[in-house]
Amino acid sequence: MKKILAIVFVSFILFSCSDTTAVNRVPVAFAGFDRSVIVTLNQTEVELDGTGSYDPDSDLLTYRWAIEAIPEKSRLTTINNPDSPIASFIPDAEGDYVFSLTVDDGVFTSQKDIVVITVIAR
Protein backbone atom coordinates (compact mmCIF):
# COMPACT_ATOMS: atom_id res chain seq x y z
CA MET A 1 0.00 0.00 0.00
CA LYS A 2 2.87 2.39 0.82
CA LYS A 3 4.35 1.65 -2.61
CA ILE A 4 1.08 2.57 -4.36
CA LEU A 5 0.76 5.80 -2.38
CA ALA A 6 4.37 6.70 -3.20
CA ILE A 7 3.79 6.11 -6.92
CA VAL A 8 0.58 8.17 -6.86
CA PHE A 9 2.32 10.98 -4.96
CA VAL A 10 5.33 11.04 -7.33
CA SER A 11 3.00 10.95 -10.36
CA PHE A 12 1.02 13.87 -8.93
CA ILE A 13 4.19 15.89 -8.33
CA LEU A 14 5.52 15.19 -11.84
CA PHE A 15 2.19 16.02 -13.47
CA SER A 16 1.76 19.20 -11.40
CA CYS A 17 5.24 20.45 -12.21
CA SER A 18 5.26 19.66 -15.91
CA ASP A 19 5.17 22.62 -18.26
CA THR A 20 1.77 22.54 -19.91
CA THR A 21 2.08 26.05 -21.34
CA ALA A 22 1.55 25.93 -25.09
CA VAL A 23 3.78 28.07 -27.27
CA ASN A 24 1.79 30.36 -29.54
CA ARG A 25 3.38 30.91 -32.93
CA VAL A 26 2.98 33.86 -35.28
CA PRO A 27 0.36 33.41 -38.02
CA VAL A 28 1.27 33.68 -41.71
CA ALA A 29 -0.51 36.01 -44.14
CA PHE A 30 -0.75 35.01 -47.80
CA ALA A 31 -2.33 37.67 -50.01
CA GLY A 32 -2.30 35.47 -53.11
CA PHE A 33 -0.16 35.57 -56.22
CA ASP A 34 0.53 38.69 -58.26
CA ARG A 35 -1.60 38.72 -61.41
CA SER A 36 -3.00 40.73 -64.29
CA VAL A 37 -6.72 41.21 -64.87
CA ILE A 38 -8.66 42.61 -67.81
CA VAL A 39 -11.60 44.67 -66.57
CA THR A 40 -14.19 47.26 -67.43
CA LEU A 41 -13.01 50.23 -65.39
CA ASN A 42 -15.36 51.45 -62.65
CA GLN A 43 -17.51 48.33 -63.05
CA THR A 44 -15.58 45.08 -62.65
CA GLU A 45 -14.99 43.87 -59.11
CA VAL A 46 -11.57 42.30 -58.59
CA GLU A 47 -11.16 39.74 -55.81
CA LEU A 48 -8.35 39.69 -53.25
CA ASP A 49 -7.96 36.20 -51.80
CA GLY A 50 -6.25 35.69 -48.46
CA THR A 51 -7.62 32.21 -47.78
CA GLY A 52 -4.11 30.76 -48.06
CA SER A 53 -3.21 32.49 -44.78
CA TYR A 54 -2.85 30.20 -41.78
CA ASP A 55 -1.99 29.90 -38.13
CA PRO A 56 0.51 27.15 -37.21
CA ASP A 57 -1.46 26.56 -33.99
CA SER A 58 -4.84 26.47 -35.80
CA ASP A 59 -6.02 29.56 -33.92
CA LEU A 60 -8.85 31.57 -35.47
CA LEU A 61 -7.62 34.48 -37.56
CA THR A 62 -8.78 38.00 -38.15
CA TYR A 63 -7.85 39.65 -41.47
CA ARG A 64 -6.89 43.17 -42.46
CA TRP A 65 -6.44 44.25 -46.08
CA ALA A 66 -4.91 47.65 -46.86
CA ILE A 67 -4.12 49.70 -49.96
CA GLU A 68 -0.36 50.21 -50.31
CA ALA A 69 -0.18 51.89 -53.74
CA ILE A 70 -2.43 52.75 -56.67
CA PRO A 71 -1.86 53.95 -60.24
CA GLU A 72 -1.26 57.68 -60.59
CA LYS A 73 -4.66 58.28 -62.24
CA SER A 74 -6.62 56.19 -59.73
CA ARG A 75 -8.71 57.63 -56.93
CA LEU A 76 -9.29 54.29 -55.17
CA THR A 77 -9.75 54.71 -51.43
CA THR A 78 -11.89 51.72 -50.49
CA ILE A 79 -11.52 47.97 -50.27
CA ASN A 80 -14.77 46.01 -50.01
CA ASN A 81 -14.78 43.70 -46.95
CA PRO A 82 -11.26 44.62 -45.75
CA ASP A 83 -11.67 42.47 -42.62
CA SER A 84 -12.51 39.27 -44.51
CA PRO A 85 -10.30 36.56 -46.00
CA ILE A 86 -11.77 37.46 -49.40
CA ALA A 87 -11.97 41.18 -50.14
CA SER A 88 -12.40 43.09 -53.40
CA PHE A 89 -12.01 46.43 -55.12
CA ILE A 90 -13.29 48.15 -58.25
CA PRO A 91 -10.41 49.60 -60.26
CA ASP A 92 -10.87 52.99 -61.85
CA ALA A 93 -7.60 53.23 -63.82
CA GLU A 94 -5.10 50.99 -65.57
CA GLY A 95 -1.90 50.09 -63.78
CA ASP A 96 -0.58 48.38 -60.69
CA TYR A 97 -2.64 48.21 -57.51
CA VAL A 98 -0.67 47.06 -54.49
CA PHE A 99 -2.43 45.60 -51.46
CA SER A 100 -1.19 44.20 -48.19
CA LEU A 101 -2.71 41.61 -45.90
CA THR A 102 -2.01 40.98 -42.24
CA VAL A 103 -3.63 38.32 -40.09
CA ASP A 104 -3.90 38.18 -36.32
CA ASP A 105 -4.50 35.22 -34.01
CA GLY A 106 -5.44 37.32 -30.98
CA VAL A 107 -1.87 37.31 -29.65
CA PHE A 108 0.40 37.91 -32.63
CA THR A 109 0.03 39.80 -35.90
CA SER A 110 1.67 38.36 -39.01
CA GLN A 111 4.16 40.11 -41.19
CA LYS A 112 2.56 42.00 -44.05
CA ASP A 113 2.15 40.05 -47.30
CA ILE A 114 1.88 42.03 -50.54
CA VAL A 115 0.00 41.28 -53.74
CA VAL A 116 0.19 43.31 -56.96
CA ILE A 117 -2.82 43.35 -59.27
CA THR A 118 -2.05 44.77 -62.71
CA VAL A 119 -5.23 46.17 -64.23
CA ILE A 120 -5.71 46.30 -68.00
CA ALA A 121 -8.81 48.06 -69.36
CA ARG A 122 -11.03 46.37 -71.93
| Residue pLDDT tens, the chain, 122 long | 555 544 444 444 444 444 556 799 999 999 999 999 999 999 999 999 999 999 999 999 999 999 999 999 999 999 999 999 999 999 999 999 999 999 999 999 999 999 999 999 99
- What is the pLDDT at residue 16? 47
What is the CA 97 to chain-centroid distance, rounded?
Answer: 18
Domain boundaries, the chain: 24-121
Given a contact cutoff of 8 angstroms between Cβ atoms, the answer to whether 27 and 107 are in contact is: no
Task: Write the DSSP symbol of residue 33.
Answer: -
- What is the pLDDT at residue 22? 78
The hierarchical CATH code for the domain 24-121 is 2.60.40.10
**Neighbour tally for 105: CB within 10 Å:** 20
- Residue 2 parent element (H or E): helix 2-17
Q: What are the CA-CA distances from residue 78 to residues 56, 64, 82, 91 (Å)?
A: 31, 13, 9, 10
